[in-house]
Structure 1
Amino acid sequence: MDSGNGKQWIRRRRYRCLLISLSIFIFLVLLIAILAVTVFRVRDATTTVNSVKLGGFSTGLNIPNLGLDINVTLDLDLTAHNPNRVSFRYGAGTADLLYRGEQVGDAAIPPGEIGARSSERMNVSLTIYAAKLIGETALYAEVLSGSIDFQTTTRIPGRVTVMGIFRHHIVTYSSCDVAVNVSSRSVQNSNCKYKAKI
């Protein structure tokens, strides 16, 4: 009889250990799930255009081609903000300069990392490809009117990794309408919009 009670005692002990282990495992899974949904919930990273400045501007007549040469450099002061509790690692981004919907200039935004709940400032210079503007007849009218309208767009792809397990890809976008004053050679006004995709 003692051997029967001993086996039953060992069986109960194994059963208790199994229940305790299973309870701890379920508790840890629930804790991780709750933390992932609340504290470590992925929030949208944002890219904000702080200012748009005219870095360089020159116009001239291109007599051999019977056209107008325009060289414009726009300096964008950007801030990328990471509201998450973990770092945001972003890849190579792009900044494009558009004239009437056509790309006439671009610049690369180098990859990097933004710490948890912090921001990083970036300066990007967009230069116009003058050859792409030679055939634009509307450009001549805008130069004569004293104001040239451009659009700048930025795209920065990245990811947030929570607890080394959960990866969330985020892409931030910004779009600005910019009016360049020809006579004062400055940015007359700019209007920007922002969005992010998870």
Structure 2
Amino acid sequence: MKEPDGLFLASAGSKPHRQRRCRCSLFLCCLLVLIFLAVAALVLALTIFKIRNPSAALVSVRVVGASPHFSFLPPRVDINVTLDLLVRLHNPNYVSFAHGSDGLIRLRYRGGQVGEAAVAPGRIPARGTEMIHLAAAVEVDRILTDLGPLLRDIAAGEVGLDAEAWLPGQVTVPWFVKFHVQAAINCHVAFGVEDLRVRVQECTHSASL
């Protein structure tokens, strides 16, 4: 009768050993899966989901409104013009780029600010392109603070304006990681007083994380 008892004890002693082996195998499997996921995430972050700067390109520049006019009796300067820039913004990323309501365009005349306007928010899809209008009107009370240079420009037949635009936004990659991106555009535009046609157009643009 002692032999069956020995078999029972041997069987009972091997059961905890098998459980430990199962736990070790499960732990190793989980560790390998985590390592694989980490490597896959790193590869995706360095290739597909690597954040690239959006690119901006100026498509057209228009000056719309009424020609600047000076009258002697009574002495008065009438100027009602709006600078309208059409910009093509391309998003090279595999995730969308959203630019918010804090986008801004400013107009300057001979260094002084003469106009400002907000840029409408929007979203550019992954690998997509959006046409954005950047428009700001000249504020008469600001440009008339230094009347002498303006009168000389009107008499010469050409008025120059500088435009500065900022488009801050963000891209969100998987795992809810957000990267802030800002596109900037700077233009110098000179237009004819009689016909409002653009005679000089010099623009630079940049984008940075």
**Which of the five TM-score ranges fits, normalised by the shorter chain?**
over 0.9
* Counterpart position of 2:55: 46
* Counterpart position of 2:117: 107
Tell me which structure has the larger Cα radius of gyration. Answer: 2
Gaps spanning 5+ residues in structure 1: where? Answer: none
The alignment status of 1:17 with 2:26, answered yes or no, reads: yes
Paired amino acid for 1:100: R
Matches within 5 A, 1:118-129: 118-129=128-139
* CA distance in structure 2 between the aligned counterparts of 1:104 and 1:73, rounded to whole angstroms: 11
* Counterpart position of 1:144: 155
Which structure features the higher share of strand residues?
1
Paired amino acid for 2:207: A
- 3-state SS of paired residue (1:23): helix
Paired amino acid for 1:186: R
Q: Shift in Å at residue 67 of structure 1?
A: 4.3
The alignment status of 1:31 with 2:43, answered yes or no, reads: no
* TM-score, scaled relative to structure 1: 0.92
Gaps spanning 5+ residues in structure 2: where? Answer: 1-9
* Counterpart position of 1:73: 82
Q: Give the superposed CA RMSD.
A: 1.7
Q: Which runs of 4+ in 1 moved over 6 A?
A: none
The alignment status of 1:156 with 2:173, answered yes or no, reads: no
Residue deviations 1:46-103, cap 9 Å, x none?
A: 3322111111232223658844232211221122211110111110111111112221
* CA distance in structure 2 between the aligned counterparts of 1:126 and 1:84, rounded to whole angstroms: 30
In the alignment, is the contact (CA less than 8 A) between 1:51 and 1:78 conserved in 2? Answer: yes
* CA distance in structure 1 between the aligned counterparts of 2:111 and 2:57, rounded to whole angstroms: 21
How many residues are aligned here? 198
Give me the identity figure in percent. 33
* CA distance in structure 1 between the aligned counterparts of 2:73 and 2:167, rounded to whole angstroms: 41
Distance 1:96 1:114, change over 3 A: same
In the alignment, is the contact (CA less than 8 A) between 1:160 and 1:167 conserved in 2? Answer: yes
* CA distance in structure 2 between the aligned counterparts of 1:131 and 1:65, rounded to whole angstroms: 17
